């Protein structure tokens, strides 16, 4: 970790200089925008009996506050303590993730005495979930069986290109008037509209994954309106979004190999061998077989990648994925694999909505290569070293090569005006590699970085690591942050133990961890 820090520290200034600051006129909402009132209603669930919901109308174009309005959905777990520390806005990432249920999860997972001091506020960013409009550019876009993600022939490449072009065209047809306003800066201005509607002078913020970038951009535009901010599993703000996605590919390949090594250690259960490289070869043989004959007509090569990708986000899924893998190889039984696909890889209507917003935000937020030859060259280069998810990830983002709106300039999130920000990062995180946490720590002056050494999960607080949660609780309680330590980290926590096979009677997966990662979802 120390060696990596030395290299990173020198790179921060160079990287930060590659992005452009937000224009000065973006630093305040228009005084002409009226302050909305929120009407909270009960929307309790069995898990979160005190959950309340409301909706808020905001300008589609914040530069034209009297123009067309759209609706964003909100949720709340009200504070119960006499000591009130204001609203705590929470976001699960994406972009495109719904935060409505996350409010209940965060409020119930924090120490009771801490949660009781906040109104925990969830929200669906513009275009998401219960908001209106809720984007769905092309329903069933991920229906199986898709073309093989690896374009080994011109025919396969063209089939994938036709598919992503059709998605971009469908978005342009259905949402041409909306797409220019589905972006991070607009979502951040919605957050400030939420603050106003809550009657709060400042907000507290807690974001995972893409939610860390959302929070950092909010801090850039509205630094005086941030009281406290927690960023967990941090996007590298200097790589949005094309470069960040390429860097993910290497990290996901490493996490996939970590799964292979875990299966090797548990050969008594899975009987796939004790050599991780040979087990990995069996996985790719399975992929080749499924490319020719999809399991149950549903799980081809691309769907297999979709199924195993969640294992790169959360190792609590490893036992289920290993069972499916072993059954396919050892007994030719593909039923567990189909079940794993339906549980982890299949995309429903909510997923269609989330992906539509994901594409709209990422394609609008920053420039993407418009020459497909650049994508082809870059991804083949990465694939040579990291074959697991490179092309699957490329096609996931490829609509941006044909997107109908002009791109914005990435936001320089460097900040000297914020109060101390608390950053959490696992060293082996694949979705938001470790370097992003370190770079953001350097860009946000006065921030503190808490590292989960050896951890590979994405989203690490409130998922069972008591050391991490102790720092989180102290910060939200009274603003305490750790200071000092060797290298770039202000505090280091040990990772949680790897899971055990499902057949192990002592196995006890973290229910909180599974719940959290179900809310965070994948891809962001």
Residue that is written with structure tokens 């959905």 in the block:
73
CB-based contact 260:280 (threshold 8 Å): yes
CA angle 96, 99, 104 (to 5 degrees): 160
Residue that is written with structure tokens 């228009």 in the block:
30
Tokens standing for residue 39: 């009407």
Sequence-distant (6+) residues with CB within 8 A of 433 are 236, 247, 248, 250, 251
Report how far residue 284's alpha carbon sits from residue 294's, in angstroms, rounded to the nearest whole number: 14
Helix axes 154-175, 349-365, angle to 10 degrees: 90
Supply the DSSP string of 222-263, one letter for each residue.
-GGGEEEEEEES---TTSTTHHHHHHHHHHHHHHHHHHHHHH
Report how far residue 208's alpha carbon sits from residue 210's, in angstroms, rounded to the nearest whole number: 6
CB-based contact 67:57 (threshold 8 Å): no
Sequence-distant (6+) residues with CB within 8 A of 232 are 206, 207, 208, 209, 211, 212, 423, 424, 425, 459, 460, 461
Report how far residue 215's alpha carbon sits from residue 206's, in angstroms, rounded to the nearest whole number: 8
The H-or-E segment that residue 290 falls in is helix 276-292
CB-based contact 412:386 (threshold 8 Å): no
Torsion on CA atoms 150, 153, 154, 156, rounded to nearest 10: -50
- Asked about 429 being catalytic, the answer comes back as yes
Considering only CA atoms, which of 434, 441, 432, 433 is closest in space to residue 413? 441
Report how far residue 385's alpha carbon sits from residue 327's, in angstroms, rounded to the nearest whole number: 28
| Distance, first Cα to last Cα, the chain | 24
Burial environment of residue 165 by CB neighbours within 10 A (0 to 12, 13 to 18, 19 or more): middle
3-state secondary structure of 135: coil
429, 463, 469, 471: the catalytic one is: 429
Give the pairing type, strands 119-123 and 69-77: antiparallel
Residue that is written with structure tokens 């989203």 in the block:
459
149, 209, 327, 356: the catalytic one is: 209
Backbone angles phi, psi at 34, to 5 degrees: -70, 150
- Asked about 448 being catalytic, the answer comes back as no
62, 79, 256, 458: the catalytic one is: 458
- Asked about 209 being catalytic, the answer comes back as yes
Report how far residue 461's alpha carbon sits from residue 395's, in angstroms, rounded to the nearest whole number: 31
Q: Which residues are catalytic?
A: 209, 429, 458
């Amino acid at each position: 970790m120390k060696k990596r820090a030395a290299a990173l520290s020198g790179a921060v200034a160079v990287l930060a200089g590659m992005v452009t600051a937000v224009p000065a006129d973006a630093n305040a909402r228009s005084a002409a925008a009226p302050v909305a009132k929120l009407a909270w209603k009960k929307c309790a669930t069995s898990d979160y009996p005190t959950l309340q919901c409301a909706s808020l109308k905001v300008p589609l174009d914040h530069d034209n506050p009297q123009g067309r309005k759209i609706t964003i959905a909100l949720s709340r777990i009200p504070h119960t303590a006499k000591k009130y520390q204001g609203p705590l806005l929470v976001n699960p990432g994406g972009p495109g993730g719904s935060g409505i249920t996350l409010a209940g999860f965060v409020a119930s997972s924090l120490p009771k005495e801490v949660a009781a001091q906040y109104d925990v506020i969830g929200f669906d960013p513009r275009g998401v979930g219960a908001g209106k409009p809720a984007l769905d550019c092309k329903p069933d876009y991920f229906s199986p069986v898709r073309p093989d993600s690896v374009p080994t022939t011109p025919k396969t490449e063209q089939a994938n290109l036709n598919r992503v072009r059709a998605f971009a065209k469908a978005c342009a047809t259905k949402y041409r008037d909306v797409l220019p306003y589905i972006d991070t800066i607009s979502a951040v201005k919605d957050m400030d509209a939420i603050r106003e509607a809550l009657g709060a002078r400042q907000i507290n913020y807690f974001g995972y994954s893409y939610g860390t970038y959302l929070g950092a951009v909010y801090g850039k535009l509205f630094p005086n309106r941030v009281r406290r901010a927690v960023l967990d599993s941090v996007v590298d703000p200097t790589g949005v979004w094309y470069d960040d996605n390429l860097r993910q590919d290497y990290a996901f390949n490493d996490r996939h190999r970590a799964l292979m090594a875990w299966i090797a250690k548990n050969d008594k259960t899975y009987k796939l061998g004790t050599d991780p490289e040979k087990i990995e070869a069996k996985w790719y043989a399975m992929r080749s077989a499924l490319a020719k004959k999809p399991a149950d007509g549903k799980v081809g090569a691309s769907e297999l990648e979709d199924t195993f990708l969640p294992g790169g986000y959360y190792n609590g899924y490893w036992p289920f994925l290993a069972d499916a893998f072993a059954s396919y190889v050892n007994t030719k039984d593909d039923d567990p694999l189909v079940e794993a696909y339906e549980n982890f890889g299949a995309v429903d209507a909510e997923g269609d909505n989330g992906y539509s917003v994901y594409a709209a935000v990422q394609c609008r937020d920053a420039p993407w290569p418009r020459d497909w030859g650049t994508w082809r060259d870059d991804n083949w280069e990465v694939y040579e070293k990291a074959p697991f998810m490179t092309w699957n990830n490329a096609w996931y983002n490829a609509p941006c090569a044909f997107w109908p709106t002009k791109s914005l300039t990435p936001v320089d999130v460097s900040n000297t005006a914020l109060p101390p920000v608390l950053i959490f990062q696992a060293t082996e995180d694949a979705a938001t590699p470790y370097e992003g946490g370190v770079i953001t720590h350097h860009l946000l002056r006065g921030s503190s970085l808490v590292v989960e050494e050896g951890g590979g999960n994405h989203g690490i607080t409130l998922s069972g690591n008591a050391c991490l949660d102790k720092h989180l609780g102290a910060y939200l309680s009274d603003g305490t942050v750790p200071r000092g330590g060797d290298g770039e980290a202000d505090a280091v926590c040990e990772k949680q133990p790897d899971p055990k096979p499902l057949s192990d009677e002592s196995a006890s997966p973290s229910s909180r961890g599974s719940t959290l990662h179900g809310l965070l979802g994948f891809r962001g």
